[in-house]
Amino acid sequence: MFLDELPEFHSDVLEVLRQPLEDGEAQISRVSGSVTYPSRFMLVCAMNPCRCGWYGHPSGRCTCSEQSVRRYLSRLSGPMLDRIDICVDVPALDYDELSGAGAPAESSAVIRARVNAARAVQTARFGPDGPACNAQLGPRELRDHCKLDGPCQQLIRGAFERLGLTARGHDRILRVARTIADLDGEADIAVHHLAEALQYRPPEHLRI
Ligand SMILES: [Zn+2]
């Protein structure tokens, strides 16, 4: 599911996504009873840095006040952000990048082959009755499949204390690090996999 202009959605609508994102189920309760539907999906969202879309751009075209920028970003709650595995800031392109004058990009076919290989590793690891992919790993599976060596433990401990990670945020970083290691074709999570996963946390200015 793709939600464009994420902060434009009503906060009630966004909050109602929390349960299906967490449990892969949507529960609808009425006076006469409740029904639970399967609801496992991949959520992709896009948003501007402010209402006019130009905040932080070198051209200085943003017309929003600091207060309105904060109000715009504060529509996303901490618990909602905590359920998003990967946040990527996409800076505005300059003309050379837009016109393709820079280095050629990887083709989608090459990327697809790498993703399929990583998915095959996960299928082999978890078996036919296990989780479909790393994103679905529960606490016990995380312990079994995301073992960290000494330097990795030191890194995540420092991040946990410095960045004030929640338990959910901590587990999310382990799942992303496991996936980066799988894309790398590595059996074990290494420090650089974990460091990359930490970079995909929601940026500080969203966590207000
Ligand atoms: Zn603006």
C-alpha 205 to ligand 1 mean position (Å): 14
- Residue 178 to residues 9, 130, 186, 199, 201, Cα–Cα distance (Å): 32, 16, 9, 14, 15
In the prediction, which pLDDT does 207 show?
62
Q: Is 90 exceeded by the pLDDT of residue 6?
A: yes
Radius of gyration of the chain (CA): 19
Cα of 60 to ligand 1 centre, how many Å?
A: 9
| Residues near ligand 1 ion, CB 5 Å cutoff | 50, 52, 55, 62, 64
Nearest to 115 by CA among 174, 179, 44: 179
51 Cα: distance to centroid of ligand 1 (angstroms) = 5
Q: How remote is the CA of residue 105 from the centroid of ligand 1, in Å?
A: 30
User: Measured in angstroms, how far is the CA atom of residue 62 from the centroid of ligand 1?
Assistant: 4
Q: What does the pLDDT look like over 51-110, one tens digit per residue?
A: 998 988 888 899 999 999 988 888 888 888 888 999 998 888 777 777 777 777 889 999
Write down the pLDDT at residue 37: 95
pLDDT digits (tens, 9 = 90+) for 10-61: 988 888 898 898 888 999 899 999 999 999 999 999 999 899 989 888 888 9
Mean pLDDT rounded to a whole number for the chain: 90
Is pLDDT at 208 greater than 60 in this prediction? Answer: no
Cα 124 to Cα 108: distance, rounded to the nearest angstrom: 24
Compute the distance from residue 88 Cα to the ligand 1 centre, in Å. 19
30's tokens: 């009425």
pTM beyond 0.95: the answer is no
Q: How many Å lie between the centroid of ligand 1 and the Cα of residue 206?
A: 15
**Separation of 54 CA from ligand 1 center, angstroms?**
5
Residue 128 CA to ligand 1 centre (angstroms): 49
